[in-house]
A and B are shown apart, each in its own frame.
Chain A
Amino acid sequence: MALLLTRHTPTYSPPVASRTIGYLGVTGYEVVASGRPDQMQSLAGQMNGLSALPARPQDVDDAVAADAAMGAVVTALFAHTGPTGQRALKAMTAKSAAKAAEGLAPGVIEASAGYGRAVGQAILGWAATDGGDRIDNMGFPDSYTPNPEPGHWVPTSHIALQQAPLLPGWGKNRPFVLKSGTDCGLPPPPAWSTDPASPAYVQAREVYDTSRSLTADQKAMARFWSDDAMLSVTPPGHWLSIAMQVIEAKDMPLPQSVDALARLGAAEADAFIGCWSAKFEYDFIRPVTYINRTIDPDWTPLLITPPFPEYPSGHSSLSGAAAAVLTDLWGTQPFTDSTGERDGLAPRSFPSFEAAAAEAAMSRLYGGIHFRAAIEQGLAQGHCVAKAVQALRTLK
């Protein structure tokens, strides 16, 4: 349901989606962990600002409690979804609650749901203080003055709303695990230059030349990982979908499943916070701007250029973090990803999570929206974020 609503809620740009996936991961984990103190350790005290959660009463059913907790968080974090989303949310919440309660005594259902709702409310209270709770104007400031110096980001579309960049303050949000958005800092992008011998020109030329000789498979990669906001589950949703596919295929036990989803969610959220911090530190120009000014005024990229600075690549930071976390948990794992199948995107198979991350990252160059430095440094930033997440203590 959360993935459906991510696609159909207008404020759900990729950073916003990563935040919600992060909180949902922790919610599910805490409900399950609270019933297994000998096997699992709470994340309270390990994640920034997360203090002890409500105590679990006797005779709580995991499914009912988790359903109630997740339902509370989903309902609140998607409160802005439209009338169809609200209608679907109501129908699905009722259905899942009924299914979870099947065969249970009324007292157990009541106690379990009450506990779940209390956990959900505690998570929401925690979330409300992270700086990312309120999204106005779909994430775009009312006004913005681009840096007039060459080499800096300028609006890349003629969409009025996007004359300011998306969520310029997102990098200042409280991360889940990193101390701050600057923890996994990056070296600067290539210095601005139009000299054909300069690294900046060389990488722009690479994007331009590549775009003019794209293979069918490279185009397929670009579209497969495009993950546009409001037209897909977004990049963090895509990696959540991958994890869910693997969990389902392997019929993974519940503790291992919720551990993976909590770690993945935190990694994704922190990767975007770190990425956004760097994006607005360096405020780097997009390929379409550079190439139109310097190489070919009529060039257009295959993908829609996102409305915010280029360096580093968000999909690369996120994919690097997600792949490292999943590899740490499950090892080198071949898998087939069918996330976009209903959108007409053929499934793609990968020998490992890292191979998928590498493809996701390079897809942004094929799509003409990122330079190589943003891709390589983005992946590196993701790996840095994953290390912090890997330090969490969860399963005993």
Chain B
Amino acid sequence: MKVLALALIALPALADEPVVPKFVAEQAGVTASYTGEWEQMVGGGVAVFDCDGDSKLDMVIAGGTSPASLWKNDGTPGKDLHFSNIKAGVELTGVSGVWPIDIDGDGIRDLVVLRVGEDVVMKGLGGCKFRRANEDWGFQGGDGWSTAFSATFEPGADWPTLAVGDYIDRTQDMEPWGSCTDNHLYRPEPGARRFAAPLPLTPSYCALSMLFTDWNHSGRASLRVSNDREYYLGGQEQLWHLDPGQPPRLYTEAEGWQRLRIWGMGIAQADLNADGYPEFFLTSMADSKLQTLAAPGPDAKPVYKDVAFARGVTAHRPYTGGDKRPSTGWHAQFEDVNNDGLTDLFVAKGNVWDMPDFAQEDPNNLLLQRADGTFAEAGDKAGVASMLTGRGAALADLNGDGALDLVVVNRNGPVEIWRNTGPVANWVGVELTAPGANRDAIGAVIEVRTGDHLQRREVTVGGGQGGGVLAPLHFGLGQAAEAEVQVIWPGEAAPGDWVTLKAGSVWQIGKAPAEPVKR
């Protein structure tokens, strides 16, 4: 494939403070809320994806004690945001989280709906309609308090593997501590396109976020689990091996895994230092963590250094509003909100529920990366420093104008939506279309090069808090008018050829033919 020379390459001057985009609050027709009391103190997220093939991103919002709701994007591209609620079959109560994924490989996104109660997988029917598919797909939804999710396609599989994290045994009102119920792994049933009986991921430590990630370029995903230390006994953060045909097994101290005990609530990953290996941001109460591999390389051990303090992303207490008490972080997401080519970080914030030692007025963080790798707080300047009780969130280009917009799901408060009005620099969107069952190429890695600046992202499903985005991956390009892009497809060690994409569009890249198509 022909590799074109770059027309223009430019990144911000090293000492510059990042450009702060202006986010404008728009109700956008959305009236949802995540409601409830004790069983809804965690969870509450949003699934953002295109459910009707119109290339506009729709939303399913977890409602807690209120029904979950689907919001069809009927706004005009490039203009104000607007959504309409449609009856979609997702209107279950007790929903704590929702993630989009094409389970059956038919090119229509399905949903995994986590609940306080039975978890449900829903088959996408097209036109933003869904129906329950637990029985058809052999999915045993149990009766737990589910709070974390991730999905992957194991090597050679034509059906996804799902991980569902569970929280407290909700029948234990007297002594809920130490009652963490089992997380489960749903693998494909051999020889069939359905799930086998779930495997318990024992020990389980009250997971609030999970993420399948090929953190070490092994060609297969491991499962990171972030756990809430409030409720476990003898627990810690976890990383599971997921070897083909083998039972899952934990990474051990002998393999380098280090004991870390936090109020783990959300996982986000991004390769911030362009060493080819992802950093992990873990939300918590008070200090959050930013982990970077101590010794990256082909034989890397999972030994991480916490560089949150050095990078300025501890996000440990409110930075505006006057409440000095420690913060409570939930959903975290790495994206480039000003398109300067440097990955930024959004963190949704909000008190658990009347915890007086933690901030009640706890503004969301929008941490903009500087060229030196540190981050500058810009939540207040950007206009997203809401004091509502945040839980799940999504950064996604809702109106297709190349600037990532923001949705935050608040507990017992209205969902908030902000349109990113810029200024933002150039950008490119990349949507992978793979043959076979793994249509969205989960596990693929996209590398985007502008001059000597490399961005690298893995296509993942999971992490965050209560929901996630399945949409074209967004790359800021600074002033560059085009970028070189290459893809490492799932299960392949070598990347494909570099292709050059012009800025300002979403490009579909298929495995064969590989010529990108402007969407």
Contact = CB atoms under 8 A, between A and B. Distances in A.
Contacts of A159: 286-287, 309, 314, 316
B173 A88 contact: yes
A50 interface: no
A146 interface: no
A91 B230 CA distance: 19
Interface string B142-180: 000000000000000000000000001000011111100
B329 to A, nearest CB: 13
A7 B174 contact: no
Interface string B211-252: 000000000000000000111011000000000000000000
Nearest to B355: A82
Interface of B: 38, 41, 168, 173-178, 229-231, 233-234, 261, 285-287, 306-310, 314, 316-317, 324-326, 352-358
Contacts of A137: 317, 324-326
B308 A95 contact: no
A10 interface: yes
A83 B286 contact: no
13 contacts: A11-B357, A80-B355, A80-B356, A84-B230, A84-B231, A137-B324, A158-B309, A159-B287, A159-B309, A160-B316, A342-B178, A344-B233, A345-B234
B356 A88 contact: no
- Interface of A, secondary structure class, is helix
Given A135-B357, A345-B234, 4 more contacts: A136-B324, A137-B317, A159-B286, A159-B314
A342 B233 contact: yes
Interface residues of A, number: 31
B309 A160 contact: yes
A135 B357 CA distance: 8
Given A88-B174, A91-B173, A158 B308 contact: yes
- Among A4, A95, A158, A343: residue with most chain B CB under 10 A: A158
| 10 closest residue pairs by CB, A with B | A158-B309, A344-B234, A160-B314, A83-B353, A343-B234, A160-B316, A159-B287, A342-B233, A91-B173, A82-B355
B234 A92 contact: no
B303 to A, nearest CB: 11
A160 B287 contact: yes
A112 to B, nearest CB: 23
A78 to B, nearest CB: 11
A161 interface: yes
Contacts of A158: 306-310
Contacts of A82: 230, 352-355
A161 B174 contact: no
Nearest to B288: A160
Interface string A341-353: 0111100000000
Contacts of B324: 136-137, 142
A84 B232 CA distance: 13
B377 to A, nearest CB: 12
